[in-house]
């Protein structure tokens, strides 16, 4: 069922609830993701941030016990409507995981093109696409002379940027990032953050992070998730990042962003 896109919002969730078996893990999550902005999802471990992230491209369905209720709209269409193919959703909404996961038996170049090949899409101007994707992920100058090398020959930070480039080759509207810097050194983290800020000029990004400084550096808006007193994970506060960190409405938000718990 179609719905009006709110303002300049490319994607939004409406009353999203998630279960794993009988365990209710997310309750009534309503968030909006404006075009060409970065949204940070913050909160203690176990409050449902990554689970929610995976609902945005239907990856949570890959867990056999997962249940879902609610709606998520992309370009005004509910991605959970019966007629919608989950694979088509994942082509429009890319994902970068916590740990770099390049295909180990493939070269750098073949990693970039792998998504297109696996989805059966025609590859046009492959050489140009590889270069463009690597440039957008800020790694082209580091790998342009070794595109035939195995992807696993790269450093951890380079592998993560390669995985970003692999997602970009699919030309997604939205890019989801699940703690993309958690396994990286400070230098690699800085380069990933610079890449996020550059990419946000042309796409919408949603990032899960436990790094409060990172959330403040890269995001335009922030959602604070919490699970407490036996309640499922839910959004305590959502707004402009500067406001959430410096003038939060809820005292629990203030306590979390200032390191008093979590």
**Which residue has 């899409």 as its token pair?**
121
Asked if the model's pLDDT at residue 67 lies above 60, the reply is yes
Asked if the model's pLDDT at residue 1 lies above 60, the reply is no
Cβ atoms of 182 and 103 closer than 8 Å: no
**Helix, strand, coil shares of the chain as percentages rounded to 5?**
35, 25, 40
Residue 250: pLDDT band by 50, 70, 90 thresholds? very high
**135 Cβ contact partners less than 8 Å away, ≥ 6 residues apart:** none
What is the percentage of the chain residues whose pLDDT exceeds 70? 97
CB neighbours (10 Å) of residue 246? 11
E strand segments, the chain: 9-20, 23-29, 32-34, 38-42, 66-74, 77-78, 93-96, 174-178, 204-208, 221-226, 234-240
CA–CA distance from 193 to each of 73, 130, 151, 244 (Å)? 27, 21, 21, 20
9-257: CATH number: 3.40.50.300
CA–CA distance from 108 to each of 134, 138, 148, 151 (Å)? 10, 14, 6, 5
Q: Nearest 10 degrees: CA dihedral of 200, 205, 208, 214?
A: 10
**Which residue has 């629990």 as its token pair?**
252
Task: Write down the mean pLDDT value for the chain.
Answer: 93
Question: Taking the model in full, what pTM does it have?
Answer: 0.92
Strands 234-240 and 38-42: unpaired
CB neighbours (10 Å) of residue 240? 13
Compute the radius of gyration of the chain from its Cα atoms: 18
pLDDT at 115: 81
Q: Please state, in angstroms and rounded to a whole number, the distance separating the CA atoms of residues 167 and 53.
A: 16
Residue 126: pLDDT band by 50, 70, 90 thresholds? confident
Q: Nearest 10 degrees: CA dihedral of 136, 137, 138, 140?
A: -80
What average pLDDT does range 51-60 have in this prediction?
97
User: Domain locations in the chain?
Assistant: 9-257
Instruction: Name the maximum alpha-carbon separation found in the chain.
Output: 55
Q: Please state, in angstroms and rounded to a whole number, the distance separating the CA atoms of residues 200 and 197.
A: 5
């Amino acid at each position: 069922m179609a719905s009006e896109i709110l303002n300049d919002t490319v994607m939004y969730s409406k009353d999203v609830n998630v279960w794993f078996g009988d365990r209710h893990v997310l309750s009534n999550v309503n968030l909006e993701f404006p075009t060409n902005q970065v949204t940070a999802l913050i909160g203690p471990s176990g409050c449902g941030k990554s689970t929610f992230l995976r609902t945005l491209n239907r990856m949570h369905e890959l867990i056999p016990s997962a249940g879902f209720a609610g709606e998520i709209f992309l370009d005004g269409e509910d991605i959970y409507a019966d007629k919608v193919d989950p694979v088509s959703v994942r082509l429009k909404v890319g994902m970068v995981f916590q740990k770099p996961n390049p295909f180990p038996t493939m070269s750098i170049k073949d990693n970039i093109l792998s998504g297109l090949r696996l989805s059966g899409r025609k590859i046009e101007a492959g050489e140009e696409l590889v270069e463009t994707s690597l440039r957008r992920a800020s790694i082209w100058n580091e790998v342009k002379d070794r595109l035939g090398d195995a992807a696993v020959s790269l450093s951890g930070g380079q592998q993560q940027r390669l995985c970003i480039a692999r997602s970009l080759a699919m030309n997604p509207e939205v890019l989801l990032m699940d703690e993309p810097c958690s396994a990286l050194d400070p230098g690699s983290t800085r380069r990933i953050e610079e890449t996020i800020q550059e990419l946000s000029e042309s796409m919408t990004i949603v990032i899960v992070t436990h790094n409060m400084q990172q959330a403040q550096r890269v995001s335009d808006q922030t959602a604070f998730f919490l699970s407490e007193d036996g309640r499922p994970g839910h959004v305590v506060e959502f707004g402009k990042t500067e406001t959430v960190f410096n003038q939060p409405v809820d005292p629990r938000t203030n306590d979390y962003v200032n390191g008093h718990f979590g």
